[in-house]
Amino acid sequence: MTPVVEVRGLRYRYPDGTEALRGVDFRLDAGEAVALIGANGSGKTTFALHLNGLLAGDGSVRVCGIEVGRSSLAAVRRKVGLVFQDSDTQLFMPTVLEDVAFGLLNQGCTPAQARERAHLSLERVGMRGADQRPPHHLSAGEKKRVALAGILALEPEILVLDEPTTFLDPPGRRALADLLRNLPQAKILITHDIPFAGAICSRAAFFADGRIAAEGNVENLAGRFGWDFSVR
């Protein structure tokens, strides 16, 4: 099977001299869900930001067969959808519908096409009736769904979610897990929430000091390294 993400020997040093990635190899297959776990500062988010060219280090990063580089950024960013930890960083338009349609308009859709696809995406995440609501009036769980709808409307092949359960209560976490399990895209979850990761992901990659120290079953891997994360 051809991987949708293939990373080899990835290294990255921040301008202040901090060596964040020290030779990371990683593979993600179509439809697979993988959790990235490990301590804060271990390199997880730095790694994820290389997948659509927000950062550029040394080594090889290929997404859906495309080498990530300056000339391929537009093509790569159509393949990879990033859902950030704080949904408020992605929601900035006056209404939910306008937020979800924003990326579609930037891709060249007509207003009518953008509205239609935005409505379908909101329905997919269970938020169809919220299209005229201001995003800042939504609950944390609703904001997460709308942010995800904005990404899904662009039809990426890969979803990257950074700490997706932040600010969510237990019912919100369960609802998000159910939603993600039913999406066909390959997924990368950066998370400290081991029960949540275990409900969605077939395996985990444990980051330590800028490297992937081990890969395996989510709960087994967390237990092996003494990471007994409860839901936060």
Q: How many residues does the chain have?
A: 232
Residue 213: left if φ>0, alpha if ψ -120 to 50, beta else—which one? alpha
The CATH superfamily of 5-93+157-224 is P-loop containing nucleotide triphosphate hydrolases (3.40.50.300)
Centre a 10 Å sphere on the Cβ of residue 163 and count the other Cβ atoms it contains.
19
**What's the pLDDT at 132?**
95
Q: What is the mean pLDDT of the chain?
A: 92
CB 112 within 8 A of CB 88: no
Beta-bridge partners for 67: 62
Per-residue pLDDT for 25 more than 80?
A: yes
Contact (CB, 8 A) for 218 and 204: yes
Q: What is the pTM of this model?
A: 0.90
Report how far residue 227's alpha carbon sits from residue 194's, in angstroms, rounded to the nearest whole number: 9
User: Domain map of the chain by residue range?
Assistant: 5-93+157-224
Residue 129: alpha-carbon gap to chain centroid: 25
pLDDT value, residue 228: 54
Whether 166 has a pLDDT exceeding 80, the answer reads yes
| DSSP code at position 129 | G
- In order, the DSSP letters of 37-87 are EE-TTSSHHHHHHTTTTSS--EEEEEETTEEPSGGGHHHHHHHEEEE-SSG
Mean pLDDT of 21-49: 95
CA distance linking residue 206 with residue 37, whole number of Å: 5
Question: Tell me: the pLDDT tens digits for 57-88?
Answer: 999 999 999 999 999 999 999 999 999 988 98
Structure confidence at residue 227 as a pLDDT band (50, 70, 90): low
